[in-house]
């Protein structure tokens, strides 16, 4: 498959630290919370863990897909301001659907490498629950007897009107093209669940989670924002979707399409979450105690790639995106010690692995989106944070995070752990 697209390389850009909220099932304990406030929560904690004061941030790069409240237009600005970033620092909201989180790192890297700033705040946030029921054709009123245009924003977003199919159908197309069976998809899903449960039990996931509690976000001179948990809840501290899910249980679920391989059990879970990271230049990192005998940055952000693929097989996008990274950096697939590839659908991820000839033992070793969830704009940030931490834990030098993108794209990010082998 051709590796056309664009490629961005960074010489001295570092992921200092990051954090995410728990990923909580659709209509669960975080379902009433604005994605702006989830983003503020993650941003504040990321700055704290990185040891970077808000006033040092020179760029705020955020991502959010569906509007979770009426002030979504202000989401990037409010996340920055309520996280303590100076009023003079600009903020932007970026959208590349499921690839949004990776695009945030790419743009932050370009801001730093181009000299616009020394440190950037990257935040992806998504409330799948708060996707609205919306209409776009009633501004002038309702005509007698005319159809009412209100539709489920999220459900409609799963359909690509150009190709005339939904995201599950694109995975079914790949399953047929690559000979992926229902048994193989269920086996892969069971493994994702098992790895996620093991990572929870070992404390790996807890190391990147900030518990969500009821709290106020104050900004002198402006309206106080905040989070208020419902009922008797005092804390939301864990991902909720991961559970032991044996193949024989998954096999009992009905396929979405007759004779298909995809079910609700082997596709990405719908969850609400936010994730944030602090990215900085090497000079900034060294000046603030990183690397030289002090705290170690999680990883060097080496390069990013983005490609286009046919919309009807959009899920194959990570394969050419990863190939482009390897071609331009001179690395081989075997040199990559860990991969975090978003599990939009089981057949989609297996098709990518088959196309690349990927060693599955290196893929999503702490569970993937089938087990943990896929909070759209937050996913790329979460995957990259988890990848960087896993590279440190495993002592590997190179890692790639990647995702397919609805409409027919793929995006990938290459990280380096200088202390790895």
For residue 388, give the H/E element and its range. helix 379-394
DSSP annotation string for 84-124: T--TTS-EEEE--GGGHHHHHHHHHHHHHHTTS-SEEEEEE
Write the CA distances from 159 to 67, 152, 164, 329, 374, integer angstroms: 18, 12, 7, 35, 17
How confident is the model over 248-264, as a mean pLDDT? 96
As a whole number of angstroms, the distance between CA 203 and CA 198 comes to: 9
Is residue 277 among the annotated active site residues?
Answer: no
**Whose structure tokens read 């105690």?**
289
How confident is the model over 269-291, as a mean pLDDT? 95
Q: Which CATH superfamily is domain 6-130+268-416 in?
A: Thiolase/Chalcone synthase (3.40.47.10)
How confident is the model over 386-412, as a mean pLDDT? 98
Output the pLDDT for position 293. Answer: 60
Output the pLDDT for position 421. Answer: 79
Q: Which has the minimum average pLDDT: 133-137, 213-217, 289-293?
A: 289-293
Average pLDDT, the chain: 96
Is residue 98 among the annotated active site residues?
Answer: yes
- The residue among 83, 167, 190, 77 whose CA lies nearest residue 376 is 167
Dump pLDDT digits (tens) for 129-159.
999 999 998 889 988 888 889 999 989 988 9
**In the predicted model, is pLDDT for residue 1 greater than 50?**
no
Output the pLDDT for position 318. Answer: 98
Dump pLDDT digits (tens) for 335-376.
999 999 999 999 999 999 999 999 999 999 999 999 999 999
Output the pLDDT for position 3. Answer: 53
Please name the residue ranges forming H helices in 9-90: 35-50, 75-82
Write the CA distances from 231 to 30, 215, 241, 301, integer angstroms: 12, 15, 21, 42
Distance of CA 88 to the CA centre of its chain: 28
Among 27, 98, 117, 277, the active-site one is 98
As a whole number of angstroms, the distance between CA 262 and CA 165 comes to: 15
As a whole number of angstroms, the distance between CA 349 and CA 358 comes to: 10
Q: Which two tokens stand for residue 319?
A: 């394969």
Output the pLDDT for position 308. Answer: 97
**In the predicted model, is pLDDT for residue 26 greater than 50?**
yes
**In the predicted model, is pLDDT for residue 228 greater than 90?**
yes
As a whole number of angstroms, the distance between CA 184 and CA 94 comes to: 35
3-state secondary structure of 244: coil
Among 27, 117, 277, 404, the active-site one is 404
pLDDT-derived band at 420, boundaries 50, 70, 90: confident
Q: Which two tokens stand for residue 197?
A: 């449960």
Q: What residue segments make up the domains of the chain, in order of their start?
A: 6-130+268-416
- The residue among 361, 310, 29 whose CA lies nearest residue 169 is 310
- Strand 338-341 with 159-160, pairing: unpaired
Q: Please provide the distance, in angstroms rounded to a whole number, between the alpha carbons at the two ends of the chain.
A: 30
Check: pTM over 0.85? Answer yes or no.
yes
Share of the chain above pLDDT 90, in %: 92
As a whole number of angstroms, the distance between CA 408 and CA 319 comes to: 12
């Amino acid at each position: 498959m051709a590796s056309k697209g664009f490629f961005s390389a960074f010489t001295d850009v570092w992921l200092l630290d990051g954090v995410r909220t728990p990923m909580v099932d659709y209509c669960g304990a975080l379902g009433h919370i604005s994605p702006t406030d989830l983003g503020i929560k993650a941003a504040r904690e990321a700055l704290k863990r990185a040891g970077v004061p808000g006033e040092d941030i020179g760029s705020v790069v955020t991502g959010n897909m569906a509007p979770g409240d009426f002030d979504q237009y202000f989401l990037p600005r409010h996340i920055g301001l309520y996280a303590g970033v100076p009023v003079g620092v600009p903020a932007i909201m970026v959208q590349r659907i499921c690839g949004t989180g990776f695009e945030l790192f790419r743009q932050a890297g370009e801001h730093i490498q181009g000299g616009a700033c020394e440190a950037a705040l990257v935040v992806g946030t998504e409330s799948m629950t708060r996707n609205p029921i919306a209409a776009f054709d009633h501004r002038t009123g309702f005509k007698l007897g005319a159809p009412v245009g209100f539709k489920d924003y999220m459900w409609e977003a799963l359909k690509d009107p150009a190709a005339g199919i939904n995201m599950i159908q694109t995975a079914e197309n790949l399953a047929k093209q690559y000979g992926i069976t229902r048994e193989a998809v269920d086996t892969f899903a069971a493994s994702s669940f098992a790895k996620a449960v093991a990572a929870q039990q070992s404390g790996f996931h807890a190391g990147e989670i900030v518990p969500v509690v009821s709290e106020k976000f104050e900004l002198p001179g402006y309206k106080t924002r905040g989070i208020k948990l419902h009922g008797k809840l005092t804390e939301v501290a864990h991902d909720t979707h991961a559970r032991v899910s044996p193949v024989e249980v998954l096999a009992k679920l009905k396929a979405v399409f007759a004779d298909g391989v995809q079910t609700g059990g082997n596709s990405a879970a719908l969850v609400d979450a936010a994730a944030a990271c602090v990215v900085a230049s090497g000079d900034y990192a060294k000046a603030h105690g990183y690397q030289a005998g002090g705290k170690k940055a999680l990883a060097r952000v080496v390069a990013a790639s983005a490609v286009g693929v046919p919309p009807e097989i959009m899920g194959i996008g990570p394969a050419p995106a990863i190939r482009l990274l390897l071609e331009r950096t001179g690395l081989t697939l075997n040199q990559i010690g860990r991969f975090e590839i978003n599990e939009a659908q089981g057949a989609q991820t297996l098709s990518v692995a088959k196309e690349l000839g990927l060693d599955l033992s290196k893929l999503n070793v702490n569970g993937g989106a089938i087990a943990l969830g896929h909070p759209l704009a937050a996913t790329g940030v979460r995957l990259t944070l988890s990848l960087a931490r896993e590279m440190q834990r495993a002592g590997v030098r190179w890692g790639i995070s990647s995702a397919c993108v609805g409409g027919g794209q793929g995006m990938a990010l290459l990280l380096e752990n200088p202390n790895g082998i």
